[in-house]
Amino acid sequence: MVEKTRCERNRERFCRLAMITLAMLMGLIGSANDLLAQELSEEVKMAAMMQYTLEYRFGKDLKVGDFVKYQLGEEEGELKVTKQEKGGVWIVEDCAGMKIHLLVDLKRMKLLKGFGFDEKGEKREATPLSDKKLAEVIAMFKNQMEQEGAYSQYVSWKKCEETEKVDVPAGSFTCSYLEPEYSEQHKKQIEDYIKLLQEHGKSDAEIDAEISKNEPRLYFSKDVPKLLSMQIAIGWMPWIDVFKEVKGGLVKVPHMQLELKAYSGQKK
């Protein structure tokens, strides 16, 4: 029971990190002691994250009308391709009281224009950065995340060869999934937890079920448009390259209480 509580705390901290980082990018919070806040404007930070994550968040085959709607805990979120303009498409993300609008050239995965509205309704522009400036800003982000312990529990994420059936409000899907590779410290914690369960008389099957239940996974389906939220992209930024290995959109992330509610192409 003690270990389950610790796992829950880890999940909450992980989700808070993603939400705090997103809020910082949108200029909702700041800190006088934060190096990035001192050196970079909120607009520059927002533009950098938007540009860097495009190729991991969106599919090149997206078309006007494509959308996904998620339940994330008590919040709802939606991403939708709204219209074409200037060789790109507008993608609008609406989540937790914030709206982000991106004009994206999907063929080149380039940000043409972007802006967002914070919880106060204030508009913030995101002027695309040069390749050099983008590389500098992203290097600073990665360095900060590493210092804050983003690598302490997971060392990497990998795509598994197996598939799994997943039921969510939007329907049933046969999903591929990503799962983590743990640090040695976390592996030791899992081993200690297994020993504790054995001491309490749990069978091997019960232990496997308990460990699997607490293991974080991200489930994807090729039947769902690839429209990943900014929150997901930020939370997985240290390992974001792995998103290139999965096809289709996100269906479920159990440890974040995220489920797909509806999507374009959904069977009636």
Burial class of residue 253 in the structure, from the number of CB atoms within 10 Å of its CB (0-12 exposed, 13-18 middle, 19+ buried): buried
User: What percentage of residues in the chain have a pLDDT greater than 90?
Assistant: 39
Residue type, 197: L
> Which of the two residues, 36 and 76, has the higher pLDDT score?
76
> Poorest-confidence range of 33-47, 114-128, 230-244?
33-47
Which band of pLDDT confidence, cut at 50, 70 and 90, is reported for residue 149?
Answer: low
Give residue 8's pLDDT.
41
- Taking CA atoms, 97 is separated from 28, 120, 256, in Å, by 12, 9, 18
Q: Residue 34 pLDDT > 80, yes or no? A: no
Q: Residue 69 pLDDT > 70, yes or no? A: yes
Question: Which candidate, 69, 109, 105, places its Cα nearest to that of 89?
Answer: 105
What is the rounded distance in angstroms from the CA atom of residue 158 to the CA atom of residue 246? 10
In sequence order, which residues have a C-beta less than 8 Å from that of residue 142 and are 6 or more positions away? 237, 238
Contact 25, 49 (CB under 8 A): yes
Q: Residue 11 pLDDT > 50, yes or no? A: no
- How does pLDDT run across 210-260, given as a tens digit for each residue? 777 667 899 999 999 999 998 888 888 888 899 999 999 999 999 888 999
Give residue 264's pLDDT.
94
- What average pLDDT does the segment 3-7 reach? 40
Task: Show the CA angle centred on residue 214, arms to residues 210 and 218, nearest 5°.
Answer: 130
Task: Output the pTM of the full model.
Answer: 0.78
Contact 154, 182 (CB under 8 A): yes
Q: Residue 27 pLDDT > 60, yes or no? A: no
- What average pLDDT does the segment 58-75 reach? 94
Furthest-apart CA atoms within the chain: distance in Å: 65
- How does pLDDT run across 155-205, given as a tens digit for each residue? 889 999 899 999 999 999 999 999 988 878 878 888 888 898 898 888 888
- DSSP lists the bridge partners of residue 120 as none
Reported in sequence order, the residue ranges of 138-210 that DSSP labels E, i.e. its strands, are 154-159, 164-168, 171-182
